[in-house]
Structure formats: C-alpha cells, structure tokens
C-alpha cells in the first residue's frame, strides 16, 4: 500500500512541476499556445496518423525541453546566486536545446502544412 501511495504522489509532484512551469515561465506558455494552435490547425487540415505522430513527438519534445531548461536554470541559480561564467554557460546551453527543438518543430510544421496549402 505504501508503494502505491508513493507512486501516486510521484505523479502529483510531476503535475505540480508542470503547474509551476506553466504559471511562471513565459516561454512555456508561448510553446503551449503554439501547440494548441497546431492541434486546432491539425484537425482543420485533417492530418493523417503519421503527421499527428510527428506533431505529437515534436510538441512533447519542445515542452519537455522547456521544463528541463527551467529546472537547469533553477538549480544553477540556487548553486550560483552570483554571476559566474560557467553558470551562464549552463543556462545558455539549456536554452539552446529548447531553441533546437523549437526550430525542428517549425520544420515539421512546414513539411506538413505547406504541401496542404
């Protein structure tokens, strides 16, 4: 029974993390809005199964990396409250990972949408 409670709590903690992400991070809100727009457009364009798969994977990747970026920034701020070049580097690299995924999402969107227009 204790294991089941711990398992359920782990999901609650994860949902709390998502709530913090969406409540405090402007870019996460922007990415989520973009995902919602893509989903609406996907229904309008009647995407096929493989197209939905691509949209789902790339959308999840962008949002997950935004969460990881937020976690990295939070831990770096905790560990290094004053400016430090290595702290800056860690934060910049984490943000760069989100940028790579976001650019890939634009490519996926273009490959799916442009032929349909």
List residues with catalytic annotation. 66
- Residue 46 DSSP code: T
Tokens of 94: 């984490």
For 18: left if phi > 0, alpha if psi spans -120 to 50, otherwise beta; the answer is alpha
Geometric angle at alpha carbon 18, from 17 and 19, rounded to 5°: 90
Distances in Å between the Cα of 46 and the Cα atoms of 41, 91, 93 are 8, 39, 36
């Amino acid at each position: 029974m204790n294991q089941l409670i711990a398992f359920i709590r782990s999901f609650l903690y994860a949902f709390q993390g998502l709530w913090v992400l969406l409540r405090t991070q402007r870019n996460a809100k922007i990415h989520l809005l973009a995902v919602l727009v893509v989903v609406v457009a996907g229904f309008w364009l009647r995407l096929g199964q493989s197209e939905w798969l691509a949209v789902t994977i790339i959308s999840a990747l962008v949002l997950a990396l935004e969460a990881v970026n937020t976690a990295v920034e939070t831990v770096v701020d905790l560990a290094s409250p004053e400016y430090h070049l290595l702290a800056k580097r860690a934060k910049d690299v984490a943000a760069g990972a989100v940028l790579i995924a976001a650019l890939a999402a634009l490519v996926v969107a273009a490959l799916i949408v442009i032929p349909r227009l």
